[in-house]
């Protein structure tokens, strides 16, 4: 059942909804009343209204408890956070995105985890996504479910492992070290394609470039700004991202680069990190940035820092931050550390601001968002 949770969390993330939102279809005459979790011969129906109520009040119905009871407290909180994700996206850009090969591929993979008796799987997704995106809340897991054109949506847990794998731009195990494959993974490609289309010939007062922590903010920095955050981003993929964006003629009056945690995790050398960061600063300046700001790499909790499959050691993050300060001095770029300082105690992420030890929860994101707004001047 934890696989079901991971699917829900993945579907609520930044990378997959831009693809799904882009598929237009006819308006449904029905809306899903139940989510049916199927695993082999096991099936459990959960009213969508129960999920909505849990999202808003954290009250758990008996049916929902059947699933949540199998999760740890940390996983339950992650699920609750996933239900709060709501995306406001550029519909015109997404309409163009639908015809990309990668977009069709990801949509096809998602459709394989949803069981239907007819052959209208992708069409049903189209209807649910566009109507969910048009809701006042924006596109999120709940608005998607509430717009799905059937009395129930059946999720086949046995088929979702491939989707969950696609949702991760990087992964690690005890035997396999993590690596940067942001721009080569299907979801990384589709997220970057969305950005290039949405940013074409646009001018923004502020642009944010960062990893999953920045991506977690969504489009919440105000009008005239754009969040270019990508899950798993390091300075390696940042350079690829910037080189892809520059031909779109996008302009950023202020640019914020919040990078380094994944560089520490991927084992990128001091020399390469400093070189890449300096090149990234040069590239954003070619995008018309009159001011460039650096944000220090994010620390994790002691527990997460001690697990190489989750995060880099905080000692390595500290070294990366020293390099960020050096590059800032060399390039005459300020390092905006004060705004995010409340997240930490002795260079360790406070547990009040995270659910998994490595990423910021809603309270942590509030602090980070406020720090960015001060930089942008909003």
pLDDT at 93: 76
pLDDT at 161: 61
pLDDT at 28: 40
pLDDT tens-digit map of 225-249: 999 999 999 999 999 999 999 999 9
pLDDT at 18: 37
The alpha carbon torsion through 305, 306, 312, 318 (nearest 10 deg) reads: 60
Burial class (CB in 10 A: 0-12, 13-18, 19+), 87: buried
CA distance 297 to 318: 8
Query: Which two tokens mark 305?
Result: 């820092």
The whole-model pTM stands at 0.81
pLDDT at 251: 98
Closest by Cα among 278, 21, 257, 237 to 129: 21
Q: List for the chain the helix, strand, coil content (%; round to 5).
A: 50, 15, 35
Is residue 337 within 8 A of residue 343, CB to CB? The reply is: no
**Low-confidence spans in the chain with pLDDT less than 70:** 1-31, 91, 94-95, 98-99, 117, 119, 160-175, 378
- What sign does the CA torsion over 139, 140, 143, 147 have? positive
pLDDT at 71: 80
pLDDT at 9: 41
């Amino acid at each position: 059942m934890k696989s079901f949770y991971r699917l829900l969390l993945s579907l609520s993330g930044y990378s997959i909804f831009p693809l799904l939102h882009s598929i237009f279809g006819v308006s449904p005459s029905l809306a899903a009343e139940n989510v049916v979790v199927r695993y082999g011969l096991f099936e459990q129906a959960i009213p969508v209204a129960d999920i909505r109520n849990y999202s808003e009040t954290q009250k758990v119905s008996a049916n929902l408890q059947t699933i949540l009871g199998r999760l740890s407290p940390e996983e339950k909180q992650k699920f609750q956070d996933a239900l709060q994700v709501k995306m406001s996206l550029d519909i015109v850009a997404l309409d163009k995105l639908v015809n990309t090969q990668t977009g069709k591929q990801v949509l096809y993979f998602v459709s394989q985890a949803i069981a239907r008796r007819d052959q209208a799987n992708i069409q049903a997704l189209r209807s649910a996504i566009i109507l969910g995106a048009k809701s006042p809340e924006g596109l999120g897991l709940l608005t998607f479910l509430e717009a799905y054109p059937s009395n129930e949506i059946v999720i086949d847990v046995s088929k979702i492992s491939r989707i969950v794998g696609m949702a991760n731009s990087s992964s690690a195990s005890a035997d396999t070290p993590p690596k940067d494959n942001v721009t080569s993974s299907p979801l990384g490609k589709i997220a970057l394609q969305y950005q290039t289309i949405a940013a074409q010939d646009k001018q923004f007062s502020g642009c944010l470039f960062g990893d999953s922590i920045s991506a977690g903010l969504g489009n919440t920095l105000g009008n005239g700004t754009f969040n270019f955050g990508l899950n798993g981003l390091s300075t390696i993929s940042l350079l690829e991202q910037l080189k892809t964006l520059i031909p779109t003629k996008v302009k950023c009056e202020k640019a914020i680069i919040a990078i380094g945690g994944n560089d520490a995790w991927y084992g990128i050398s001091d020399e390469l990190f400093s070189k890449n960061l300096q090149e990234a600063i040069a590239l954003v300046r070619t995008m018309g940035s009159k001011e460039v700001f650096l944000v220090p790499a994010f620390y994790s909790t002691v527990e997460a820092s001690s697990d190489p499959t989750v995060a880099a050691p905080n000692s390595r993050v500290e070294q990366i931050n020293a390099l960020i300060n050096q590059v800032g001095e060399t390039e005459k770029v300020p390092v905006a550390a004060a705004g995010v300082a409340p997240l930490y105690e002795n260079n360790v992420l406070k547990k009040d601001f995270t659910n998994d030890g490595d990423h910021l929860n809603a309270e942590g994101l509030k602090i980070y968002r406020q720090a960015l707004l001060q930089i942008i001047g909003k």
